[in-house]
Chains A and B, each alone.
Chain A
Amino acid sequence: MLISLPEFIGRLHPLLVHLPLGILLLACFFQWLILHSRYAFLKPAIPAMLFWGMLSAIASCISGYLLASGGDYEGELVQRHQWMGIYTAGLALILWIAHQFFINEWIARWLSVGLIILLFITGHLGGSLTHGEGFLQEGLQAGKKDDPVWKAMPDLQQAQVYAGLVQPLLQARCYSCHGPNKQKGKLRLDSPDWLLKGGEDGKIIKPGDAEKSLLIERLMLPMDDKEHMPPREKTQLRADEIAVLHWWVNSGAAFDKRVSELKQPANINQVLQRIATGQQPAGNIAAAPADIPAAAVAPGDTATIRRLRQAGVMILPVAANSNYLSASFFTATAPPDSLLPLLTALKKQLIWLRLDNTPVSDASLRQIGALTQLTRLQLSNTAVTDAGLPALQPLTNLHSLNLVGTKVTATGLYTLASLKQLRYLYLYQTAVAPADWSMLLKQLPGIQLDSGGYRVPTFEADTTELKY
């Protein structure tokens, strides 16, 4: 797209403004520095610096005016920035003239302090325009930008969809470029009227049809598309946030409806529940495995963890941001039976336990039965038998149980039918009789039983080479 000359000059504004900032600041600094006899030789440079600084300040004013009249910027902040810029250029001109007429050096010196202050104010206002108001404070509060937009809302169903969900989201992610101070693409999103009006590409909301609404379409474009919104370097919307916008537009983009008044498909229901409880998954992060509880937990007892580690047990949080623990005994230096009692102190946190290839036996399973939070338990290649399995009945959260290479049979496994959360049961190389499989499948519905023992047949081609 070709742009006109005034627009081109306008776009040079962000570049030009750095010239007066640098030159004038240094000139003012020199005015004080020459008081020291060692730097007196800098004196003749000052008028020249003031001259070029003043000229570049005027050029910045002109280019800034052209940029603002391009239409992307409007509002009080722009006005304040504009007038401060003009004052700055004016004061620079006065100072330069003053130097031409050799007025009192001390007057010039104090004028230069005023100029420094003006430069700072103008520069800050300009920064607020490009980065959004309050950008400096944000820099001090690390991480704030990525915080969830919505705080937990227990009475979410009674909240207004627009005022409670949509508007805060637009404010957090969009207003800085499409708000009162800046209107990129001639688009404002900070009131219902502006939202309905649209921008230079036309209307952005087609009520009832999110797929055809520019507001949603731009969010869904791939990251590397130059039309993608928000721009790559800005904070991106999370999946849940896009889902809420999508749902709002699809439900008619009403500005006065409550959450309970709109139809809530299953996927939205889940999103809304997450918002209500304040548990919003972060944007760039993998979905957690299904077997990590959603509820938070207090950190485990550090003394116990240390003792287990000293005994060679690998005990770690399941993730750096979680207090839930996983423990693995295959490098343990002491027999597991002597260490298992220690785990009771961590029963709230411990969810994954590996005891494969260790000398645990049926007696040990009673200790394990107390660890009711366990979701993953690996007992492969141990001396566990049917006699021990009933001890696992309290493990109602168990998701996956690995009994590969143990002596268990169908009789013992029937006792696991009470484990309602159990999804995976690995039974390769167990003593389950082939005739019992069909009964097991019936008795343990909803559980994926893996009998293992897969064979890969050997074809002639597998052992011969093609001759050529």
Chain B
Amino acid sequence: MTQQELHNQRLLKEAEDAIRRMHTRRHFIKESAMGLGALAFGSLLGGCGRSQPGLSPAVSNFDPVHPLLPKAPPFPGRAKSVIYLHMAGAPSQLELFDYKPELAKMDGQDCPQSLLAGKQFAFITGVPKMLGPQAKFAQHGQSGAWISEHLPHFSTLADEVTFLKAVTTDQFNHAPAQLLMHTGSPRLGRPSMGSWVTYGLGTENQNLPAFVVLTSGGNFPDAGKSAWGSGFLPSVYQGVQCRSEGDPVLFINDPKGMSRDLRKASIEAINDANRQEYESYNDPEILSRISQYEMAYRMQIAAPEVMNINDEPAYIHEMYGTKPGKSCFANNVLLARKLVEKGVRYVQLFDWGWDAHGDGAYNALNLGIINKYRSIDKAMTALLLDLKQRGLLEETLVVWGGEFGRTPMMENRNGAQNPYKGRDHHTEAFTLWMAGGGIKKGFTYGETDEIGYSAISGKVEAFDIQATILNQLGFDHEQFTYPFQGRPFRLTDVAGKVIRDILA
């Protein structure tokens, strides 16, 4: 056999193999069509019905015509609204709330092998040095909570809040960790907590969105819009992103030459067309589209008034430390209070810029991050006090936290020490606080070891926090479901336990 013949033979064989592969694939598809049909038929016959005897049937609570109609919670809730302050990038618990004098003694020493063996970090490689707390701490209030000098205002509220000192996560990158915190899954596609809440409770004020998102710090959180998306819930429940600078909602003002009457006429025309579309297709999403247009029309009047923080008196601006006309955390916090006052159910704030790696001066614990502390301290203190004096703190749950914590070790990237003082992402322990909404005052739950590396008691995870938030709003997180892809889904999936010890 010549070389050429051999070559031809090989080519022929390859072609035959290719045909065979095609053939088997076609067969496979042809044969499975039958199986898939049967599967589909099964779901047509009534979905999966009850997931467990005794549980309520897996039916959706979704009314496409009035998707945001207020609904009573299954059980009387302690809170009516939630303000969630998320410090995107993950603030360091070791510089704010988790006081570790032992860690100060270890400052500059090599990290013991026992803390590194079998662990994974986002950046740390080799043997990093330990880094003592970059702050002075003192005890505050009757409760004696340790709070650092970086939060001089907030430390006066030690007796108003509950600290969760042993929060853990299993995600050490920002986006998945943020998604886990807000949607119950580190992957895309699940509805966010605010969407669940608006799906379950609707809104008390039909002229405003039920779930508002405000961002500050110059960037969106890494998880992007999925952190407030509606996932598989109807899209009407997604968070509405608003701004404290310029128009509160983009394109909320009528363009030049468009009168209010003309706007009304055109929205009615669009809704008529949509209604006809609905009659031929019966897709409930069309109905929610119609109601969204109607809400947008009402919002054009109501939203600019509520979202304008300029009509607040000067002493309130001074209290929050706002910067009128700019986009900043303080402005967003004040706006959050105004929204909750008007019946908005869930206000989600993201403040970007907390990722204290110390690879530059801007994110060094002793330089750039100091400015982050300054930008939130006065505003979040004012928020709690302002809600309190208006009698709103009893029914508003305020949550503050990041997506994970920071290592007791100084970050060393690629084996070399970072130029500035910084800490790497840390999953095993971080601090989060809650206030109002039926949460204990002046209480600390959970404890970390003497260098703040891992939780030793009162360990909680994102699911437990979600279960607790839902509980305070009047939901049993195990019964609060939405049918999707043939099974009822929960925010907390198969996990989560209400942290009963922190409930007042």
Task: Say whether B391 contacts A426, CB under 8 Å.
Answer: yes
* B367: Cβ under 8 A from any A Cβ: yes
- Chain A residues with CB under 8 Å of B377's CB are 462
Q: Are the CB atoms of B497 and A223 closer together than 8 Å?
A: yes
The answer to whether residues A314 and B53 also contact, given A331-B207, A454-B389 and a CB cut-off of 8 A, is no
**Residue on A nearest B207 in the bound complex, by CB:** A331
Chain A contacts with B in 380-413, Cβ cutoff 8 A: 380, 400, 402, 404
- Flag whether A463 is at the interface (Cβ < 8 A): yes
Question: How would residues 282 to 313 of chain A score, 1 for a CB under 8 Å from any chain B CB and 0 otherwise?
Answer: 00111111001000000000000000000000
A378 to B391, CA, bound (A): 9
What are the residues of chain A within 8 A of B315 when measuring CB–CB?
455
User: Which B residues from 287 to 337 make CB contacts under 8 A with A?
Assistant: 315, 318-321
- In the complex, residue of chain A having the shortest beta-carbon distance to the beta carbon of B206: A331
Which of B72-80, B133-141, B350-358 binds A?
A: B72-80
Mask, B417-458, CB within 8 Å of A = 1, is: 000000000000000000000100000000000000000000
CB under 8 Å from chain A, chain B span 359-380: 361-362, 364, 367-368, 370-371, 374, 377-378
Determine if B472 is an interface residue (Cβ-Cβ < 8 Å).
Answer: yes
Q: Which of B75, B364, B381, B478 contacts A321 (CB 8 A)?
A: B75
- B153 interface residue per 8 A CB criterion: yes
Do the beta carbons of A462 and B75 come within 8 Å of each other?
no
- Chain A residues with CB under 8 Å of B77's CB are 286, 289, 319
Q: Which residues of B contact A457 (CB under 8 A)?
A: 153
Is the pair A459, B319 in contact by a Cβ cutoff of 8 Å?
no
Nearest CB in chain B: distance from A82 CB, A: 28
Tell me whether B471 is interfacial, beta carbon within 8 Å. Answer: yes
Given contacts A288-B76, A289-B438, A462-B374, contact A143 B391 (CB under 8 A): no
The smallest C-beta distance from A439 to any residue of chain B, in angstroms, reads 21
* A318 contacts partner chain B, Cβ-Cβ < 8 Å: yes
Closest chain-A Cβ to B118's Cβ sits at a distance in Å of 22
Q: Say how far B348's CB is from chain A's closest CB, in angstroms.
A: 22
B71 within 8 A of A: yes
Residues of A near B390 (CB, < 8 A) are 380, 402, 404, 426, 428, 452
5 example contacts (A-B, Cβ-Cβ < 8 A) are as follows A316-B70, A319-B76, A320-B74, A454-B389, A462-B321
Q: Which B133-174 residues have C-beta < 8 A from chain A? A: 152-153
Please name the residue on chain B nearest to A222 by beta carbon.
Answer: B497
Q: Could you say which of B75, B367, B381, B385 contacts A319, with CB atoms under 8 Å apart? A: B75
Contact pick for B72, options A138, A223, A316, A453, CB 8 Å: A316
Point out residues on B near A: beta carbons under 8 Å: 50, 53-54, 70-78, 152-153, 204-207, 315, 318-321, 342-343, 361-362, 364, 367-368, 370-371, 374, 377-378, 381-382, 385-386, 388-391, 394, 438, 471-472, 474, 476, 478-479, 497-498, 503
Q: Is the CB of A330 within 8 A of B78?
A: no
> Within 8 Å of chain B (Cβ to Cβ): is A468?
yes
Instruction: Check B53 against A142 for contact (C-beta < 8 Å).
Output: yes
A457–B385 CA distance with the chains assembled, in angstroms: 13
Selected contact of B71 from candidates A287, A316, A453, CB within 8 Å: A316
Which residues in window 89-131 of A have CB below 8 A to B?
none
Residue of A nearest to B473 (CB): A286
Q: Is the CB of A319 within 8 A of B204?
A: no
A284 touches B476 (CB 8 A): yes
Check if A466 is an interface residue, CB within 8 A of chain B: yes
In the complex, the answer to whether B205 meets A286 with C-beta atoms within 8 Å is no
Task: Give A292's nearest chain B residue, CB to CB.
Answer: B76
- Which residues of B have CB within 8 Å of A415? none
A292 to B72, CA, bound (A): 14
Counting from the closest, the 4 A-B pairs by CB-CB distance are A452-B389, A426-B391, A454-B385, A319-B76
When C-beta atoms are compared, the residue in chain B nearest to A286 turns out to be: B471
A402 — which chain B residues lie within 8 A by C-beta?
390-391
CB pair B318 A468 closer than 8 Å: no
**A338 interface residue, CB < 8 Å from B?**
no
Instruction: State whether A454 touches B319 (Cβ < 8 A).
Output: yes
- Chain A residues lying within 8 Å of B497, measured Cβ to Cβ, are 222-223
Residues of chain B within 8 A of A400, CB atoms compared: 391, 394
Does A266 count as interface, using CB distance less than 8 angstroms?
no
Q: Is the CB of A314 within 8 A of B319?
A: no
Give 7 new A-B contacts, CB below 8 A, not counting A314-B204, A319-B73.
Answer: A145-B54, A318-B72, A319-B72, A328-B204, A426-B389, A462-B377, A468-B368
**CB–CB A466/B391 < 8 A:** no
A146 interfacial by beta-carbon distance below 8 Å: yes
Residues of B within 8 A of A452 (CB): 388-390
Of chain A, the residue at the smallest CB distance from B497 is: A223
Q: Are A456 and B319 in contact (CB under 8 A)?
A: yes
CB pair A285–B391 under 8 Å, yes or no, is no
Q: Known: A458-B378, A462-B378. Is A380-B371 also a contact (CB below 8 A)?
A: no
- In the complex, chain B residues whose CB is within 8 Å of the CB of A328: 204, 343
Q: Is the CB of A456 within 8 A of B378?
A: yes
A465 touches which one: B152, B374, B382 (CB < 8 A)?
B374
Q: A317 contacts which chain B residues (CB < 8 A)?
A: 72
Closest to A316 in B: B72
Q: How far is the CB of B357 from chain A (nearest CB, A)?
A: 15
B54 touches A142 (CB 8 A): yes
Contacts of A380 in B (CB 8 A): 390-391
Q: Tell whether, in the assembled complex, residue A466 and residue B72 are in contact, meaning their CB atoms are under 8 Å apart.
A: no
Task: Please count how many residues in chain A sit with their CB below 8 Å of the partner chain's CB atoms.
Answer: 52
Q: Give the docked Cα–Cα distance between A331 and B207 (Å).
A: 8
**How many Å lie between the Cα of A450 and that of B70 in the bound state?**
30
Chain B neighbourhood of A404, CB < 8 A: 389-391
CA distance A286 to B378 in the complex (A): 33
Residues on B with C-beta less than 8 A from A322 are: 72, 76
A461 interfacial contact with B, CB 8 Å = yes
In the complex the two chains form, is A458's CB within 8 Å of B318's CB? Answer: yes
Contacts of B362 in A (CB 8 A): 468
Interface residues of A in 414-468 (CB under 8 A from B): 424, 426, 428, 450-459, 461-466, 468
CB distance from A412 to the nearest CB of B (A): 18
A451 to B362, CA, bound (A): 41
Q: For residue B394, which residues in chain A have a CB less than 8 angstroms away from its CB? A: 400, 424
**Known contacts A286-B471, A454-B389; is-contact A330 B342 (Cβ 8 Å):** yes
Structural contact, A331 and B54, CB atoms closer than 8 A = no
Q: Given the known A-B contacts A319-B75, A400-B391, are A466 and B371 also in contact in the complex, defined by CB atoms under 8 Å? A: yes
Cross-interface CB contact of A138 among B53, B206, B391, cutoff 8 Å = B53
A139 within 8 A of B: yes
Q: How far is the CB of B186 from chain A (nearest CB, A)?
A: 20
CB neighbours (8 Å) of A458 from chain B are 318, 321, 378
Residues of A within 8 A of B50 (CB): 142
With A314-B70, A380-B391, A466-B370 in contact, do A143 and B75 touch (Cβ < 8 Å)? no
Q: In the assembly, what is the distance between CA of A287 and CA of B504, in Å?
A: 9
Question: A312: shortest Cβ distance to chain B, in Å?
Answer: 9
Cβ contacts under 8 Å, A331 to chain B = 204-207, 343
In the complex, A322 Cα to B70 Cα: how many Å?
Answer: 16
In the complex the two chains form, what is the Cα distance from A452 to B388 in whole Å? 8
Q: How far is the CA of A51 from the CA of B204 in the complex (A)?
A: 68
Residue of A nearest to B321 (CB): A462
CB-defined contacts of B374 to chain A, threshold 8 Å: 461-462, 464-466
Q: In the complex the two chains form, what is the Cα distance from A84 to B141 in whole Å?
A: 71
Q: Smallest distance from the beta carbon of A454 to chain B beta carbons, Å?
A: 4
Contacts of B385 in A (CB 8 A): 454, 456
B53 touches A145 (CB 8 A): yes
Q: What is the CA–CA distance of A321 and B72 in the complex, to the nearest angstrom?
A: 9
Q: How far is the CA of A452 from the CA of B70 in the complex (A)?
A: 30
Q: Which of A285, A316, A424, A468 contacts B367, CB < 8 Å?
A: A468
Given the complex of chains A and B, what is the CA–CA distance between A456 and B388 in angstroms?
Answer: 13
A320 pairs with B438, CB closer than 8 A:
no
A308 to chain B, nearest CB (A): 13
Known: A380-B391, A400-B391, A461-B374. A456 touches B74 (CB 8 A): no
By a CB distance below 8 angstroms, the chain B residues around A468 are 361-362, 364, 367-368
A287 and B377 CA atoms in complex are apart in Å by 32
Residues of B within 8 A of A459 (CB): 152-153
